[in-house]
Every structure is written in C-alpha cells, then in structure tokens.
Amino acid sequence: MKRKSLMAGNWKMHTTAIEARSLAADIARKCPETTDREVLLAPPFTVLREVAEVLSRTDVILASQNVCWEEKGAFTGEISPVMLKDCGVSSAIIGHSERRQIFHEDNALINKRVLGALSFDLMAILCIGETEEEQENGKTFAVLEAQVRQGLQGVEPQQMEKMVIAYEPVWAIGTGKTATKEQAQEVHLSIRRLIEKIYEKNIADRLRILYGGSVKPANVDELMSQPDIDGALVGGAALDAESFGRIINFI
C-alpha cells in the first residue's frame, strides 16, 4: 500500500516572530507540487499565529510541539488543544525524546496527551525511541513495544486515522549518528507488525511511521527508499530552508 509521505520540521526552542515568518515563507516556497507527500512545521508556541498566517495559502500543516489533555484549567505552563486550534494548529507532536529525557514525561502522561489531542481532532504524532544504553543492551524492541502499547492505550481503531508514529532513536538525535537504512527499516517494520497485533492489518498498512534522528539532505533519499519509512521528523536541518527544502524534495 502506498502511503502519502509526511516530512515534518520540528523547530524546537528556536525562532523569534520575525525569524519564524521568514523561515516559514522560505520553506513554503520550496514545497513540491506533488501529491505523494505532505509537509509539516512545528514552531514554538509563541510564533504559531505568525506562522499560521504565512502558511494560510499553502498546504503546509501547522503543528505544535506538545499539547495538554484538558480544554482549560489550572495547568500552569501547559497549552490546550482548543488554544492550539484557535492558532490554526491541526497536529501535535507528543512524547518527543526531549520531553521524555529532559522533562521526565512517562508513557502514562504521554498517553494522556495523545488522547487529549485526538479528542479535539488533532493529528497526534507519537514519538518513540530507545536510548544508547537500551540499544547496546539489546532492549530496543522491548522498549519500543512498551512505548507504543502504553502510548496508544485507549485509542480506538477509528482514531488511528489521526495517528502518526515517529521512531527517533535517542542515540541518533543531535549526535550526527544515524541508523542505517536497514536498521531503520527493520524497526519500522516491527512497529507496523505490532500495530497489526494491537489493531488489524488495514490499520497497520495505513499508519504512517516517520524516522527521526539526524535526518539530513545527504541521507534522506536512502531512508525514504525503504518500504516502511513514510517520512521524517527533522530537527536541526529544519531550521535551514535550503537543507529542509532538499529533504522535503527527496527523490
């Protein structure tokens, strides 16, 4: 089954309003006019409205880098799905390795965020990935299975249409290390087979699974040539319009 690719740029804690508008405009101009892929940008919360305005006449998807599970309330420092939708957001990244590693978000909290996003009709991008220590100890598949099963707890089969999974090995993020295309394909296939066990084959076949971990212009073509890699979650290279432009125009 041919799935539409999703090329996502996570700007993390970068860009002021002026910088964000300029970067978004530059990236939008580089988006291909093909129908086989989608482009997504996830700027900081503070510039969502500015980027939404720039992207308003394009097909680029606007995403947030996190989302709370409640509509409103006493949740200092959080941002609700309603607030995000009011800014023009239609998707949310959830469980990024930096949220897990730096801010100690566990699978239970990440699951609450996933359910909150879906309940307000946001596309949820669930990030999973193993640390270098877990990889070296042969725990990759056990860790990923736990993150998938717990992250999707309570997600109904029909809601999987709004789900994306992003595999980002922690050892490859910002380190310059990248899984080989064979390593990445093996993991992506295992995730798809796990989704088939949890749900059914049709759902697994339709699910988009992205790779994240030092994706660059130099390696995007070989990664995207793999049958179970449906896109990329890009960090540093997404802050440079030339680099990200090359990535979203992969061959």
Active site residue 168: yes
Q: What is the pLDDT of residue 118?
A: 98
- Active site (annotated) includes residue 96: yes
Q: Which of 50, 96, 98, 188 is catalytic?
A: 96
The model's confidence at residue 186, banded by pLDDT at 50, 70 and 90, is: very high
* pTM of the shown model: 0.97
CA 234-147-143 angle, to 5 degrees, is 95
| Percent of the chain with pLDDT strictly greater than 90 | 93
Check pLDDT > 90 for residue 191. yes
The domain limits of the chain are 5-30+37-248
Q: What is the pLDDT of residue 1?
A: 67
d(CA 251, CA 246): 9
- CATH superfamily, domain 5-30+37-248, is Aldolase class I (3.20.20.70)
**Pick the catalytic residue: 105, 130, 168, 188?**
168
DSSP letter for each residue of the chain: -PPPEEEEEE--S---HHHHHHHHHHHHHH----SSEEEEEE--GGGHHHHHHHHTTS-PEEEES---SSSSSS-TT---HHHHHHTT--EEEES-HHHHHTS---HHHHHHHHHHHHHTTPEEEEEE---HHHHHTT-HHHHHHHHHHHHTTT--GGGGGGEEEEE--GGGSSSS----HHHHHHHHHHHHHHHHHHS-HHHHHH-EEEE-SS--TTTHHHHHTSTT--EEEESGGGGSHHHHHHHHT--
Question: For residue 171, what pLDDT is reported?
Answer: 85
For position 2, what pLDDT does the model report? 83
